[in-house]
Every structure is written in structure tokens, then in C-alpha cells.
Structure 1
Amino acid sequence: MNDYFATVARGLEETAAQELIALGATEVKTDFLGVYFQGNQELLYRVNLWSRTIFRVLVKIDKVKSFDAQSLYKSVQTIDWSAYLNPEMTLAVTCTGKNKQLNHSHFTALQIKNAIVDQQQKQYNKRSDINAEAPDLLVNAHIDNNRCIISLDSSGSSLHRRGYRPAMGRAPLKETLAAALIQMTDWTPELAFFDPLCGSGTLPIEAAMQALNIAPGLYKSQFGFQTWLDYDETLWNKLVTEAKNSQLKTIDIPIIGSDRDFEIIDQAYTNAENCGLGEQIQFMQKELSEVQPPAEKGVIICNPPYGQRLGTTEELEDLYKMLGDIFKQRFKGWTAYILTGNKQLAKKVGLRTSQRIPVYNGSLACTLLKYELY
């Protein structure tokens, strides 16, 4: 069994932990901005393929001394890097954390890189080239007091970049956050889904992916582990084939997004088309004041602006009041959720919340407000 660490957005640690358990992970333990877990190579591939809420999966290979630059250099050279890297492969090193002697991440990464390539030079009389953009091996170092955790990044580019979203609105949710928000709600694929402020469509698209049991990793062209020395192509192809075979072809309930801006709706439709969901999601150009429930019951999830990147608090008060009025008057039998980072605006909804779930949108503390509409 290998030791892994999944990096996640702040506040999504527990959501990611539950997802990892469902995928078969053992020894699951949450930490700030991540989750520790254990598993075999197949689990590593499966998590990269199926996870909806994780950024990256790191494979721990050692924990070494890092009192200062010299001790770190010597400690990194005690690792046999030929097990992970040959001179024909490219290399990059990233670093997080710091201590008193190693307080600059670029300098720390440089010491680790030097230790690795100097070992190669001595062993092979040649060394790996550095490729910061798309290396064959991406080494991640995390300074924790006087120890440095050395890991390999199995994901490559962040898993939140599904690959379907070249068209984005002005303040889009990350795909991982959108997926997590949906998982935090009462929505299931048996219930209608509606986002009346859908922007470039991330929430409806992530809902449709969950409804159709689509593995997010199927949209990703390359994972970090696919250029590793121990890459098992047969195992990976088996998991990909299983994922494709487990997809559903149609959705029996409506998944709808609407927005007042035609250009934004066009972006949303483009994004849905890019992941093969153009026929499964209905996008409409519609003023909020004109929206009507598409079914007798269902779930609304929306992310209205809250005066951080779009609009001012004063300009948005009428929007929040309208949301509350429309929910109350037209959506009886539904459950509604509003993500907001502005308590003053939340009060303008004018409805009693049945639940308040703390969420972070990036570094911004937000709340997912739940309304039971009777």
C-alpha cells in the first residue's frame, strides 16, 4: 500500500474524504487543504479518473531532513532517484511550506532539483532537462518544520481543469467547487436541477456529469503518472474502458440553466457541447424575473454575485430580494440553495434558512444557504 495525499480547496476536506472512501481508499484522514489516504496503484489511477472534488494526488516517497539548504540537499540525495527518473525524462520541482532557513519556495525547489540532477550526473554522466510546463516527473516538496515531505505529483495539471471549459464567464466557479456544492445538497439524479443564474454553465454541467455517471478524468488528455517509469498502460486502459461502459446515455429529468446574457448562455452551451452534453442540458436566455419551475419538484442551486468581483452590494440587493420572492411564489415543493459571501445580501432573500453550510470560494469565506420552499 502506498501513502497518498489529495490536495483540495479550503473547506472541502471532509467532502473529498467521503469521496475517497467511496472510491476504495483506506486510512483516510483529513488535514488542512488535503486528505491523507492509502491504496495501491489501481486506486491511484481510479482517484485521478473519478474524483470530482480533488485538485491533485501526491504520492509520498520519503520524508527527509531539511534544517537548512545543505541538509536538504544531502537528504534528497539519499533517495535512489533512478527508481523514478532516467536522464531521458524531463523534470520539474515545486515547493510549499517553509522554515527559518528555507523560507523561499523557489530556492528550496532549486536545492532539491540540484540534488536530483547531481545524483544523475554522477550515476549516468548525464542528467534530465528541466521542463516547468509539462515535465515527465513533477516532484512536490513540502517543508514541515525541519522535515521535508518529498512526493510525486500523479495528476499533472490540476484535476479541476476538466478540459471542457475554454469559454468562461467573468466569475466562474471552479469545477471542483461546483461538484462539491452539488454533493452538499439534497439533489439526486431523480430530481430536476435548475440554476437560474448559470453563467458559463458549470453547475448544470457538473450535475449532468454526475447524473450520467461520467468520470471527470475522461476529459483530461494527460495525467502525470502516464510518463512515469512504473506506468501500467494495461491497467489504465482497463479503468478507462470500465468508466466509459458505466456511463448512462440519457437523463430522465430536466437539467436547466438560464441567464439574462445571450453571450454567456452561448458560452455555457459551447462548454456543454465540449463534453458531449449539449443534448442533455437545456440552456435558456431568460431574465430572472421570467423564470418558471420546469417540474413540480426539484433543486435550485445558484451562485449569484456577492459584490466581490461583480457588482456592488447596493446594486445586488434587488437581485437577492427577487430571488427570494420568485422562490417563494413560484417554486413551492422545491429546495433552493444560494452560495453567497455577503451576509448583508443574504438577509435580502427574506426567507428562513433550514441550513447554513460554511464553504470557501477560493480564499473567500462563503455560506451555502438552504431554503425549504413550502
Structure 2
Amino acid sequence: MKRVELIAPCHFGLESVLKREIIDLGYEISKVEDGRVTFIGDAEAICRANVFLRTAERILLKVGEFEARTFDELFEKTKSLPWEDYIPADGKFWVTKAASVKSKLFSPSDIQSIMKKAMVERMKIQYHKKWFEETGASYPVRVFLMKDVVTIGLDTSGVSLHKRGYRQLSSKAPITETLAAALIMLTPWKKDRILVDPFCGSGTFPIEAAMMAANIAPGMNRSFTAESWTNLIPKKLWYDTIDEANELVNDDIEVDIQGYDIDADVIRAARQNAEDAGVAHLIHFQQRPVSELRHPKKYGFVITNPPYGERLEEKEALPKLYSEFGESFQKLDSWSAYMITSYEDTERYFGRKADKNRKIYNGMLKTYFYQFIGPRPPKRTVKNEGEA
């Protein structure tokens, strides 16, 4: 496959984290927009992006981009794209998702059906066929309209990349794996520092941190739609990518990662999830209320997703909960705390104004990532060889 543009959607407000990840993976960024980063790659990049990126929601192979203000324009311009370069004659193809923002064309179902018809008309001409059985591999199409600009991509991932394959059991309000990973990356936490999540729920923050510490690629243990695209991506590239991921794993490490929750059933679920992720030996889970948050060592990190109180009866309990959290954290005088919540009185009851605050959309819910930054630990002095 020649060099192509690949689109990686992400959570709004976290584009800079994903951009850094893509650059670290060795690829060139071509565009950064709200909720997505576009980069240049080839067939191997599709495999590696799916397997290694922790904060992308999926990887789309960009087929085309054009302006369309009428359905006739949408039909003709979709028909003019070289679909035969991507989809074989027996391929199963459909427009799985259409999203429209500030555009004249706004009906997702109409956009989907018109684009499907246009694709069929193009492929009828190219393959000299009147009917497509669609018995082969799946080629789902996603389209996004922004101010009348239509961007079309083939979905190489299939199930969203936040589905790592380890979280079979969830707590009431789980944070997605991709969002948890991105938030950890927004902090200065590294594997040699302590990390505690006092509202760990299904264990997503501790598990994602442990996977980072052990260099376990997030997509190692799942499958992707594009694995069956043998017309575009040789199977060997997928095998090579998994081999690369396996070689990078180092789970024989010493870390201090802990997860607490007041609910014993939730802690059992978190332990099972950690087991399925291959990091159970790196995390200490314990049933414990936030009022008992403590640690004997200095310069640790609290990274957490406390209850938001989306239901009225839960909201009444939040002042006490956040006050207990704040009081416990005060005693950890050299620590830093990072929490994502939509609770508007967070700072009031936590008892401290955040040093930094970042707006992040968790799905359709507007949340804030409050950052209470503690002092840096003193630099370690490396003694010369032969010194006592």
C-alpha cells in the first residue's frame, strides 16, 4: 500500500496527548482538529496504530474529502472516489456511522443511504457487475460532515479501541480505557512513582497504568476489522506487529500501584479485570473507603474518577464524599491529586482550589480534570563508583 492519510478520533480536549503518541510511534502528523488527529502512514502503520495507540478511539483509512451542500453533490462526489482501490468485488460495505456538525446535510440515515448507492454505482462500473453478493470481508465506512466538508474513511478497527479485551466486568460509571490512559499521560506519573486510585471501580486507572509500566500494548489481545483486508494489508504485517509488541513487554518490574473501593463486589471485578489484562501481579486492590486513603511514602499520585452524582439520590452524598477525600488528601502533604468529575462543587468540598483545570468531554458529558499539584521529589544523586 502506498502512503495514505489515517484519521485517529479521540476524546475532545485530548488531541495533544494522541498527537504525541503518534509522533512517538514514528509517524508524521498532517492535521489536528477537534476530536481527531490525521497522520501519514502505510499498511504497516494501520497495524501498529491499532495495536500500540492507547488514546485513539479507532483508526480510519481516509478515502476522500470534499465539499457537499446538496444530496446530489454528495452522491456524485462519493461516486467519483476510487472505491475499487479499497473494496474487492466480494467485499461487504456499508456506511456504519454518519455525523454532521454545522452542515446543510444533517440527516444521518439519508447521508448513509445516498453514499451506499453512490458506492454501488461506482463499483458496478469498475467491476462490470450489476449485483454484489457482499460475502467477503467487511469494509465499514464512516463519514463526518463539518461545515459542509465531507470526510470519508474506512474503519480499520471495528470495535472501538477502548475495548482492550480485559474489562468483562464494569462498575456503575466506568471511565473508558482510552480516556483513562490519556488522563494518566496528562500527569507527570512514571512507573517509579506511587499511584493510588481511591475510587477505582472496575480498575481502569490502575490497570492502564500497570500496562504502561509493563509496556503492554493495548491492542495485543484483540482483533481488528482490517485483519481480513488481505487485498490491502498482508497478514504478515499483523503478525510482525504482534511480535514487536510481545518483544517490548517487561512485566518483571517493581511498581506501587493501588486501587481502593468501598464495594467488595467491585474490588473482586477489578481484580478479575487486572487478571485478564495480565497485570494482576502489579496492582494491589483493597476494599477501603476514601476516608482511609493513606500511604507511608511521599511524592505519590492520586489519579481517580470519583462519583459525579448523576442521579439525584447520589448527589446528596457528594458533599460528604468530596470532603472526606479532601481531608484524607491533606494528610498526604507531598502528593499530587488528579481527578475527572462533572461535580460543580468539587473544589468547595475538596477544600482547595485546583492548580490547573482542563475541560474534557466524557462522551456527551462535560467534565473537568482537576489537578492539585504537589512538590517535586528531590533529584536523586548518583554516587560515583567506589564511593560509600
> Is this contact kept in 2: 1:117–1:128, CA < 8 A?
no
Report the equivalent of 1:31.
33
Aligned counterparts of 2:17 and 2:196: Cα–Cα separation in 1: 22
Within-5 A mapping of 1:203-242: 203-224=205-226, 226-227=228-229, 229-242=231-244
Q: Which of 281, 300, 308 in structure 2 is aligned with 1:306? A: 308
Q: Which of 56, 59, 65 in structure 2 is aligned with 1:57? A: 59
Shift of 1:362: 2.2
SS in 1 for 2:59: strand
Within-5 A mapping of 1:340-359: 340-359=341-360
Report the equivalent of 2:115.
112
Task: List per-residue Cα deviations over 1:199-256 (Å, max 9, x = no partner).
Answer: 1100000000110111101122224354252112112211210111100122312111
> Is this contact kept in 2: 1:10–1:363, CA < 8 A?
no
TM-score when scaled to structure 1? 0.91
Shift of 1:358: 2.8
Gaps of 5+ in 2: 376-388
Q: Which of 5, 9, 12 in structure 1 is aligned with 2:11? A: 9
Residues 1:200 and 1:47: Cα distance change in structure 2 (over 3 Å): same
SS in 1 for 2:65: strand
Aligned counterparts of 2:224 and 2:287: Cα–Cα separation in 1: 35
> Is this contact kept in 2: 1:336–1:370, CA < 8 A?
yes
> Is this contact kept in 2: 1:17–1:29, CA < 8 A?
no
Shift of 1:276: 1.4
> Is this contact kept in 2: 1:196–1:302, CA < 8 A?
yes
Q: Which of 129, 136, 149 in structure 1 is aligned with 2:134? A: 129
TM-score when scaled to structure 2? 0.88
Report the equivalent of 2:159.
157
Report the equivalent of 1:366.
367
> Is this contact kept in 1: 2:83–2:119, CA < 8 A?
yes
Report the equivalent of 2:383.
none
Report the equivalent of 1:337.
338
Shift of 1:309: 4.7
Residues 1:120 and 1:259: Cα distance change in structure 2 (over 3 Å): same
Farther off after superposition, 165-174 or 292-301: 292-301
Report the equivalent of 1:71.
73
Gaps of 5+ in 1: none
SS in 2 for 1:219: coil
Shift of 1:50: 0.9
Residues 1:78 and 1:285: Cα distance change in structure 2 (over 3 Å): same
> Is this contact kept in 2: 1:328–1:373, CA < 8 A?
no
Residues 1:354 and 1:103: Cα distance change in structure 2 (over 3 Å): closer
Report the equivalent of 1:267.
269
SS in 2 for 1:218: coil
> Is this contact kept in 2: 1:98–1:104, CA < 8 A?
no
Task: List per-residue Cα deviations over 1:240-283 (Å, max 9, x = no partner).
Answer: 10111100122312111011101111111111111112222111
Report the equivalent of 2:98.
95
RMSD of aligned residue pairs (Cα, Å): 2.3
